[in-house]
Structure 1
Amino acid sequence: MKYAFRKIELKKRYPLQISRGLISGSTNLYVLIDDEACVGIGEAAPGSGAETAEICEQQLQEYLKDRDIISSPTEAWGDARSSGVAMCAWAAVDIAIWDLLAQRSKQPLFQLLGLPEPSVPTSITIGIMSPDLVRDRIPEILYRTNAKNLKIKLGNPEGIEADKAMYAEVQRTIQNFDVSLRVDANGGWSLFDAIVMIKWLADRQCEYVEQPLKPEDDDQLPNLYRNRALPIFVDESCNFSSDVAKLSGCVDGVNVKLMKCGGITEAVRIVATARAHGLQTMIGCMGESSISIAAGASIGALFDYIDLDAHLNLEPDPADGLSLINGVVSVSGRFGHGGYLIC
Structure 2
Amino acid sequence: MMIATYQKHTLNFKQASGTSRGVLKTKDTWFIIIASEGKKGVGECGMFRGLSVDDRPDFEQKLQWACQNIHLGLDILLSELVELPSIQFGLEMAFLDLENKTAFELFPSRFTKGEDTIPINGLIWMGSEAFMREQITSKIEEGFTCIKLKIGAIDFQTELDLLKSIRSHFSAADIELRVDANGAFSPDEALEKLKRLSDYQLHSIEQPIKQGQVEEMARLCETTPLDIALDEELIGVFDVADKYDLLQTIKPQYIILKPTLVGGFQGGNSWIKAANDGKIDYWITSALESNVGLNAIAQWTYTLQNDRPQGLGTGGLFTNNIDSPLEVKNGNLQYNNKTNWNFNL
* TM-score, structure 2 normalization: 0.83
**Cα distance change of structure 1 residues 197 and 120 upon mapping to structure 2, 3 Å threshold:** farther
Aligned to 2:253: 252
**Cα distance change of structure 1 residues 57 and 330 upon mapping to structure 2, 3 Å threshold:** farther
Aligned to 2:225: 229
329, 332, 344: which one pairs with 1:328? 332
1:165-206 alpha-carbon deviations (Å, 9 max, x no partner): 34335556878x953210111001123432123222222131
**Cα distance change of structure 1 residues 64 and 307 upon mapping to structure 2, 3 Å threshold:** same
Aligned to 1:164: 160
One-letter amino acid of the structure 1 residue matched with residue 147 of structure 2 = L
- Rounded to whole Å, the distance in 2 between the matches of 1:205 and 1:312 is 29
Aligned to 1:319: 323
1:1-343 alignment, distance < 5 Å: 1-47=2-48, 48=52, 50-51=54-55, 56-70=59-73, 73-81=74-82, 86-103=84-101, 108-111=105-108, 119-143=117-141, 145-156=142-153, 160-171=156-167, 179-239=175-235, 240=238, 241=240, 242-248=242-248, 250-301=251-302, 302=304, 303=306, 304-331=308-335, 341=343, 343=345
Contact kept, 8 Å, 2:121 with 2:313, in 1: the verdict is yes
Contact kept, 8 Å, 2:32 with 2:44, in 1: the verdict is yes
- Rounded to whole Å, the distance in 1 between the matches of 2:72 and 2:268 is 18
Contact kept, 8 Å, 2:81 with 2:87, in 1: the verdict is no
**Cα distance change of structure 1 residues 32 and 7 upon mapping to structure 2, 3 Å threshold:** same
- Rounded to whole Å, the distance in 2 between the matches of 1:62 and 1:56 is 10
* TM-score, structure 1 normalization: 0.83
Contact kept, 8 Å, 2:124 with 2:135, in 1: the verdict is no
Contact kept, 8 Å, 1:41 with 1:340, in 2: the verdict is no
**Superposition deviation, residue 35 in structure 1:** 1.6
Contact kept, 8 Å, 2:93 with 2:106, in 1: the verdict is no
- Rounded to whole Å, the distance in 1 between the matches of 2:44 and 2:310 is 19
One-letter amino acid of the structure 1 residue matched with residue 343 of structure 2 = L
Unmatched 5+ stretches in structure 2: none
- Rounded to whole Å, the distance in 1 between the matches of 2:136 and 2:156 is 21
SS of the equivalent of 1:30 reads: strand
**Cα distance change of structure 1 residues 66 and 190 upon mapping to structure 2, 3 Å threshold:** closer
**Cα distance change of structure 1 residues 299 and 63 upon mapping to structure 2, 3 Å threshold:** closer
Cα RMSD of the aligned pairs, angstroms, is 3.2
Contact kept, 8 Å, 2:3 with 2:67, in 1: the verdict is no
Q: How many residues are treated as equivalent by the alignment?
A: 329
Moved more, 116-125 or 260-269: 116-125
Unmatched 5+ stretches in structure 1: none
**Cα distance change of structure 1 residues 142 and 2 upon mapping to structure 2, 3 Å threshold:** farther
**Superposition deviation, residue 272 in structure 1:** 1.9
One-letter amino acid of the structure 2 residue matched with residue 300 of structure 1 = T
**Cα distance change of structure 1 residues 316 and 69 upon mapping to structure 2, 3 Å threshold:** same
1:309-328 alpha-carbon deviations (Å, 9 max, x no partner): 22121223223131224322
